Amino acid sequence: MADRAVGRVASPAPDPTTAGDARGWTDLRVVAVQHVAERAATEVPGTLSERRMVGRSLPSVAVRTRGRGVLLQVVVGAGWPAPLADLAAQVRDRVAARTTQMTGLPVLEVDVDVVVLSRPTLRRP
C-alpha cells in the first residue's frame, strides 16, 4: 500500500508585533479592579448578594479608566427597610479604599446605585 500524503496547511506562527492587534486585547487590570471592587462591596454590612444565571448579578461593577486612575459604577443589593443613603456612602468609601489598597490604582470616582431586593411571599394554592 502506498503512503498518501495528508494535505495539511500549517498556520504561520503569529507575529508578536501584530498578533494582539488582530484579536483584540483584554486589559487584565480592568478585570482585576472589577473583582476587587465587587468583593469590597460585599464586605459592607447590609448589602446583599444575588447570583443570577440570566441577567445582572449583584453586586456588579463597571470600570472605566482615566489616565492611571479608575472610575467605578457600583450596583449593590439591599433588603427593605435599609438606610439607603448611609448604605451607599459606606459602599462608596469601602470600595474606594479597598480598590486602591489592593490594586495600587487611584480611584477617581465611585457612583453607587442601591437596588432593593425583596423575596416574593410564597402562597399556597
Strands 60-66 and 107-116: unpaired
Q: Are 73 and 61 in contact (CB under 8 A)?
A: yes
Grade residue 106 by pLDDT with cuts at 50, 70 and 90. very high
How do residues 44-56 score in pLDDT, each as one tens digit? 999 998 877 556 7
Higher pLDDT, 68 or 18: 68
Q: What percent of the chain has pLDDT over 70?
A: 70
Query: Which domains does the chain show, CATH number per domain?
Result: 41-116 (3.30.70.1350)
Distance between CA 104 and CA 30 in Å, rounded? 13
Q: Which amino acid is it at 30?
A: V
Tell me: pLDDT of 12 over 60: no
Distance between CA 90 and CA 87 in Å, rounded? 5
Higher pLDDT, 15 or 74: 74
Can you give the pTM of this predicted structure?
0.72
